[in-house]
Amino acid sequence: MKHDGLNLDDAVAILERTPASLSALLGGLPETWVGATEGDGTWSPYDVIGHLIRGERTDWMPRVRCILAGEARPFEPFDRTAQFTESRGKSLGELLATVAELRRGNLVALSGMNLTDEDFGRRGLHPELGEVTLGQLLATWVVHDLDHVAQIARTMAKVYAEATGPWNVYLSILRDRQR
């Protein structure tokens, strides 16, 4: 199924792999890597996983359901920093398992909706952006995952930014979002 560049099967292929990719990248790593940030006000890989959990619980599927129900009210605003309290005291392993479990359930629910091309054009109301389509929401879910995978890799790379010495001129990941 395709709509305005979105292919649901292709989208799900990314969405279903994200938790395993993050577990492979982060599972069992020392705090040096999972607690690293890019400076004040930036997120560590640990924080990003908490943020993804929040999205799985309160953002993606609730908004899908809102659009499909034809609700005229705006979506509930998304708390982009809730992970700082919700993840407190939890291990990274616990967070990785939680995001995997929630994602699995969300994708089962999404599959069970038997969406059609017509559904992708259905509209909802974002509290900041205004009118959006279901297709745009689903595409954003995919790109949101990829954005945070890139953020995690970039943040981790910067742990060794100075250690690379003169080679850092060849490593564009170290120049993205300077501290």
63 exposed, middle or buried (CB, 10 Å; 0-12, 13-18, 19+)? buried
From CA 169, how far away is CA 172, in angstroms rounded? Answer: 7
Residues contacting residue 20 through CB under 8 Å, at least 6 positions apart: 100
For the segment 134-159, the average pLDDT, to the nearest whole number, is: 97
What is the structure's pLDDT at 84? Answer: 85
Whole-number percent of the chain with pLDDT over 90: 89
Asked whether the predicted pLDDT for residue 2 surpasses 90, the reply is no
Q: What is the pTM of this model?
A: 0.93
What is the structure's pLDDT at 79? Answer: 85
From CA 44, how far away is CA 39, in angstroms rounded? Answer: 9
What is the structure's pLDDT at 176? Answer: 72
Asked whether the predicted pLDDT for residue 125 surpasses 70, the reply is yes
* Dihedral sign of CA atoms 168, 173, 178, 179 in order: negative
- Note whether 36 and 155 are within 8 A (CB): yes
What is the structure's pLDDT at 1? Answer: 47
- For 36, the 3-state DSSP assignment is coil
- Note whether 74 and 123 are within 8 A (CB): no
The residue with tokens 């999404």 is 110
What is the structure's pLDDT at 80? Answer: 86
CA 122 to chain centre: 23
For the segment 171-177, the average pLDDT, to the nearest whole number, is: 85
What is the structure's pLDDT at 148? Answer: 97
Of 138, 116, 102, 131, give the one whose Cα is nearest residue 13. 138
Of 179, 75, 177, give the one whose Cα is nearest residue 124. 75
Residue 156: φ, ψ to 5° = -65, -40
Asked whether the predicted pLDDT for residue 118 surpasses 50, the reply is yes
What is the structure's pLDDT at 15? Answer: 98
